A and B are shown apart, each in its own frame.
Chain A
Amino acid sequence: MAGRDFVHRLPDSELAFARRQALLWRLHVDPPLLVLVLLICGVGLVVLYSAVDGDVPRLQTQAMRLGLALGVMLAVAQVPPRSLRRWSLPMYLVGLSLLVAVLFIGVSAKGAQRWIDLPGLPRFQPSEIMKVVVPMMMAAFMADRSLPPRFGVLCVALLLLAIPAALIAVQPDLGTAILVTGSGVAIILLAGIQWRFVLAAGLAGLAALPALWMVMKDYQRQRVLTLFDPETDPLGAGWNIIQSKTAIGSGGLYGKGLMQGTQSHLDFLPESDTDFIIAVMAEETGFFGVMVLLVLYFLVITRGLYIATQAQDVYSRLLAGSISFTFFIYAFVNIAMVSGLLPVVGVPLPLVSYGGTSAITLMAAFGILMAVHTHPKMRRA
């Protein structure tokens, strides 16, 4: 098996030794990942400049948030995976209590109760933290068991996942719930669950679709229906998706030029600086422009999965794999939604959409990837 070579590379090989000498290595930074992330941030700021209509103060705000997020990434990268593993359970419990607290003392905005406002702290979304904490907890849980997991273990793992996911879904915050669930599912898959379980779960999921339809809220059903036929309500529910498809399609191969997008600059495109920013990019930079971003995303995911394969302990591996895959889900769900392949759910385009919370979470996750890759690997017994 080709993988054997990777797995058996010794940490004190010459290459690794040379790396350790490097300053960046000592700072626990993975240069390829850093470069890719910086490139995405750069592309993102350029697109955002157009999406906010040249509003420099807003652009500066976003740049400062990204800077802060990079700081968070560097800070997290300093934490050895061992420590992360130890903190997983306490963090999970804290996160879970915060989610429960949101139910009772949360602050509502736009019809959803997602925020918590504690004195002395900036307002934050506990669900956001769970994007990282849930995979940490599940990886820690799995790492203590022999793999592939037995059925009982699987059930407990699913419970660890289902409780926070359900708490987030009822806020309601479908986008975050999907991302959290995705990160947990990634852990279970990476842990080596037998395919027959996967198959069974898939079939069960299909069977549960009607039940899911029943419990969905009206606006959620509307979004699903709109996906299939946006023209039924072109000025209402279908507006967003029609306008974003028009924006993307009218961009053509080369785009209309930066700041030249009529769909976004004349306000036909809603949420053009947040969830629908990829449509701005597609309209103004065309097919090739979006390809650049997709390639960058692909490289980040690949680098993340590579780091996962290089990790020596189960916890690091599972966590790194899950983080990389969640990043993929992030980008995929957003672009698929904006281009009309998936129903509209609130998932921003990672590192590009205007907003600080998700950038910080994402960077923290990249910090974990770097930590996994740069800290001395745990030796086998």
Chain B
Amino acid sequence: MKDTFTLRDHDAEARLFFGRVMVLWGVVVIALLVLVLRLYQLQVVEHERHAVQSDANRIQVQPIAPTRGLIYDRNGILLAENLPVSSLTIVRERVPDLEATLADLRELLDLTDAEIDSFKRRLRERRRPFESVPLRLRLDETEMARIAVNRYRLPGVDVEAQLIRHYPFGDLVGHAVGSIRRIAREDLAHLDRAEYSATRYVGRLGVERHYESYLHGRVGHQRVETDARGRITRVLDRVPPVAGENLRLHLDLPLQIAASNALGDRRGAIVAIDPNTGGILALVSKPGYDPNQFVGGVDPADYAWLRDHPDTPMFNRALRGQYAPGSTFKPFVGLAGLAAGETTWERTIHDPGFYRLPGRSRMYRDWSWRPGGGGGHGTVGMQRAIYRSSNTYFYDLSVKVGIDRLAPFVEQFGFGRPPALDLPEASSGVVPTPEWKRTVRREPWYPGDSVNLGIGQGDLLVTPLQLAAATAIIAAEGKRPTPRMLLDADGDLEEMRAPEQAPIRLADPADWQRMAEAMADVIHRGNRGYGQNGTAWIHIGRDIPYRMAGKSGTAQVVGIPQGMRHDDLELSERQQKHAWFVAFAPVEKPEIALAVLVENGGGGSSVAGPVAREVIDAWLLNRLEGAAVARN
């Protein structure tokens, strides 16, 4: 040790050390200068950019969803309202580990696989960054408490209070009022992105869809300061949203209930219209569905059930069901004949129970035709042809009028046209013409087509709504208020100023009353013996306390071979004829016109007639009682 020690050159070591210290000190100076430059770069050169970013971090402009307008029936009963619910939502961007969070939540809330699946599906849909995605709507108190206690370990999970659409009467008014659905990718293409920036739902069908722009309201905004977890620390300023318009519909809930009960469990549709205003008083399509199912995003299994059910509950038969009108079409053919001057009320023909085109052998049969002969209605004029529903008379008349005059005339009643002001998905039906047949069927127009058209068969297709509206025009003696759901609104809606269409003019306006009387005979002409009563008298006319005009109809579902009667065929339930009944009442001063369709119901007078009577009874006889129900 001592040897080494004496050998050391302390001065040299100290010099060496001093040099090294200076080197390190130099390193320190340079490194600190680098830091100074870096801070200068961030804080001076790039200051503006970072300052903007810092504000962008904390200040967010949040859109505030407007409250959707309410929908009332004509009595002021709420049909569509907004209920406050607390729903569990997740902001994906703030969740570090989604699977772990979902596993936690599954334990806390007993989430089902279906709920998690539909949440993941919603998550995959396009949405705005940092938009919350609902996991479960309608949390109860216990669930909210569980979330609150565990929230610290569930970043990105939140309980949001929001208003959701609720239809208190569910499937009773589902097809009438329509429904809403979550805004999906395809909606974003045509919706105003700014206006809908906070809105989660959009009208899907019916009134909800047609009046979307009024019901929606105007979006509001607030500038808020949020912390890193997105919680609002303060509101900087706020432009409140404007709630949507409240709508009042012509729909009468008691009548809707009565119509629904009258139809019972049968498949079919009822549309009732006030002929004076065109207001739709009842619109029933059965089976129905509960539109509330669609509010929270429908469960896929439920949706599949609804979609694949053989009775197609989601299909709106009243608006979209297209059927041959059958004999209910005869009054319109009759009016066409009168208007064209091809017949008069006095003219009669002999009805042997069938009709043949001149020079042809094919028989067009009456419903009374029998293979051995003996059918038919004998001497038949227009009135008798209506109350006995003679096919032969109208085969003949239709051929006489000809398709070129018949088609334009019946189109005035709304056949083959979009039928309503504010029911966007309603179908137009088909009024066949030679041109239509050429382009669609690529076939020429045969004289037989005109024959079939005379009794509402062939290619003619109408919807219950169209038939009700056309019946209302007869009731209103040609006046044509456009059928509509909307009665009234808070604001000034374009639809309320929609001009009425010009009335249909007949050569002799008294023909309206005569046709109404002929249709009244269908119901009231009775006790006259075999072959002399109105077709519906036995079913509904014997005890009726008011005057009602009507017409029954049956629409064939399958073709019947020549020489056979419909009753002879072995037909399954779904091949049975559809039963129709159109009616209005009171005849003197009509307050209601309607069309009833019972799918595969069989006879129009026997099956659909009583339904129509029950509905009109409810309107004319039970209105006071109905109002009392509504008040409770």
Residues of chain A having any CB pair with chain B under 8 Å? 1, 3-4, 6-7, 144-148, 186, 189-192, 235-236, 243, 245-253, 262-263, 266-268, 282, 286-287, 290-291, 294, 297-298, 301-302, 305, 308-309, 314, 317-318, 321, 325, 328, 332, 335-336, 339-341, 380-381
Contact = CB atoms under 8 A, between A and B. Distances in A.
B227 interface: yes
Interface string B55-78: 101100000000000000000000
A146 B7 contact: yes
A147 B21 contact: no
Nearest to A190: B20
B49 A302 contact: no
Given A246-B57, A335-B35, 11 more contacts: A1-B18, A145-B4, A243-B228, A249-B51, A266-B57, A266-B227, A268-B228, A287-B40, A291-B39, A309-B18, A341-B35
A291 B57 CA distance: 26
A189 B23 contact: yes
B14 A7 contact: yes
Contacts of A148: 16
Nearest to B227: A266
Given A250-B47, A252-B43, A190 B54 contact: no
A334 B4 CA distance: 42
B35 A339 contact: yes
B572 interface: no
Interface stretch (B26-34, B305-313, B456-464, B479-487): B26-34
Contacts of A144: 1, 4
Contact of B51 (A3, A145, A252, A318): A252
6 contacts: A243-B57, A249-B46, A268-B58, A298-B29, A305-B25, A381-B5
A145 B5 CA distance: 9
A144 B15 CA distance: 18
B35 A287 contact: no
Nearest to B54: A250
B252 interface: no
Interface of B is mostly: helix
Interface residues of B, number: 51
B39 A309 contact: no
A262 B96 CA distance: 23
B36 A147 contact: no
A186 B24 contact: yes
Interface of B: 1, 4-8, 10-11, 13-21, 23-25, 28-29, 31-32, 34-36, 38-40, 42-44, 46-47, 49-51, 53-55, 57-58, 93, 96, 225-229, 233
A4 B15 contact: yes
B170 to A, nearest CB: 42
Sorted from nearest, which 10 A-B pairs have the closest CB atoms?
A: A249-B50, A3-B18, A250-B54, A266-B227, A267-B228, A249-B42, A192-B16, A287-B43, A250-B51, A268-B228
A290 B15 contact: no
Nearest to B5: A381
Contact of B18 (A6, A186, A251, A266): A6
B625 to A, nearest CB: 63
B38 A282 contact: no
A263 B43 CA distance: 14
Contacts of B38: 336, 339-341
B227 A287 contact: no
Given A190-B17, A192-B17, A246 B28 contact: no
B31 A328 contact: yes
Contacts of A302: 25, 28
Contact of B39 (A1, A145, A235, A282): A282
